[in-house]
Amino acid sequence: MKKFCSLSAFFCFLIVAFLATTDFALAEELADANVEVLAGSACERIKTDETLSSVRLRAIDKATFDAVKNLSEIKELEQYYSEHDLNVLVYSLVDNYIEDLNTKTTQQDDQKICVDISGYVQKDNIVLAQEEFLSTAPSDQNSTQNEDIQPENTPDETYSEMPSAAQTDIDALDEEEAETVATNENKKLIYIAPLEFFNNTKSKNLTAPLKNLFSENSSFALTENETRADYNIVAKVLKAKVDALNAQTKRLQMVVSVTATQSGTDNSFTEHQNRFILFEAKDDEQKVAADLMNQLLTKAGKLVMKKVARDAKIENKSSEPFITPKASN
């Protein structure tokens, strides 16, 4: 390769540039897929009579552990797990679910060895690792109660202990205002439907996380008129179930979905979020569920909003008039 490159340095440069572009494109594709991309680095001191390969392995283990623990999906779990339990979960991911792990020694001398690592973890496998961990949690034989957290006929009252900030009502535009904004400010109008629960009840008040997201984005404006909207957003709580693991600890599983549909078309985007969390039996179940619901709606909403923004730009581009160049005399 070295001899070949000496014959055609420019050709070699093109190959390197192509590979770098390909790697970047692959990383970008992974970031948009259902994965969490890993990147980390660590250094380990060389101990007396220790082989260099052992030191390097310790550095790789440390870098990999820290990279997984710093994933956004894992950071969100810190408030629900003890430090010990969270570390157990992270080690499970490190041992069983990291894919395409690449390592590179960046520094090696008489004192230490440093490495960089990269790879990715499927988001579904993060959920699977949580399920596996929680299934091994100790439980009392007398604590076998399972219960769904079901909103009552008035779900807004059921979740009345949610943080007041989440209850803040975001003003939506009426029909005339929506028409003005759509025409003059070139914003996409968003209609957010009442939140749907698995027991067929609905709530307008609990869509605040989604309203906040779209109202804070300068590309969108909220409208109360579903027929005037460019995109309709429908969020659902598909599952909210509590299991009593023992006398002190309960487990909550919640699944939510957020779907955006372009008005007048079959074009739609859906994101799901699924979480298991542990909480103390003395805690208010409704507040725990409400807090988790807000987090999941926000997470799914951000992903959907990103897709809507991309789609809207494509739509705007395709709607621009085509100008036929005139032939010069």
* pLDDT tops 90 at residue 224: no
What is the predicted pLDDT for the residue at 92? 85
**Average pLDDT value for residue range 71-88:** 82
**Regarding beta strands 35-45 and 112-122, do their DSSP bridges make them parallel or antiparallel, or are they unpaired?**
antiparallel
**Regarding beta strands 268-280 and 231-244, do their DSSP bridges make them parallel or antiparallel, or are they unpaired?**
unpaired
Taking only the tens place, the pLDDT of each residue in 33-77 is 688 899 999 999 998 887 888 888 889 988 999 999 999 888 888
Which residue spans within the chain are E strands per DSSP?
A: 35-45, 98-108, 112-122, 146-148, 188-192, 195-197, 202-203, 220-222, 231-244, 249-262, 268-280
What is the predicted pLDDT for the residue at 150? 52
What is the predicted pLDDT for the residue at 5? 46
Out of 5-9, 41-45, 77-81, 140-144, least confident range = 140-144
What is the predicted pLDDT for the residue at 194? 93
Where are the domains positioned within the chain? 32-135, 146-319
23 versus 39: the higher-pLDDT residue is 39
Taking only the tens place, the pLDDT of each residue in 166-190 is 344 445 555 555 555 555 567 888 9
327 versus 247: the higher-pLDDT residue is 247
Alpha carbon distance 140, 146 (integer Å): 13
Phi and psi, residue 222, nearest 5°: -85, 145
What is the predicted pLDDT for the residue at 259? 93
**Regarding beta strands 231-244 and 195-197, do their DSSP bridges make them parallel or antiparallel, or are they unpaired?**
parallel
Alpha carbon distance 130, 93 (integer Å): 9
Within this chain, domains 32-135 and 146-319 share the same CATH topology: no
Alpha carbon distance 144, 140 (integer Å): 8
Closest CA to 296 of 257, 240, 261: 257
Annotation: CATH topology of 146-319: Double Stranded RNA Binding Domain (3.30.160)
What is the predicted pLDDT for the residue at 182? 53
Q: If DSSP codes are grouped into helix, strand and coil, which group holds residue 106?
A: strand
> Which residues are CB-contacts of 237 (< 8 A; sequence separation ≥ 6)?
195, 196, 197, 198, 254, 255, 256, 293
pTM: 0.51
Taking only the tens place, the pLDDT of each residue in 254-266 is 889 999 999 888 8
Taking only the tens place, the pLDDT of each residue in 269-305 is 888 888 878 888 888 888 999 999 999 999 999 999 9
Alpha carbon distance 268, 262 (integer Å): 6
**Average pLDDT value for residue range 304-325:** 66
> What is the rounded average pLDDT for all residues in the chain?
75
180 versus 93: the higher-pLDDT residue is 93
Q: Could you say which of 3.40.50.11540, 3.40.640.10, 3.10.129.140, 2.60.40.10 is the CATH number of the domain covering 32-135?
A: 3.10.129.140
Closest CA to 97 of 144, 38, 182: 38
CA angle 14, 20, 23 (to 5 degrees): 140
What is the predicted pLDDT for the residue at 323? 47
* pLDDT tops 80 at residue 158: no
Out of 15-29, 110-124, 231-245, least confident range = 15-29
Q: Say what percent of the chain tops pLDDT 90.
A: 22
Alpha carbon distance 275, 126 (integer Å): 10
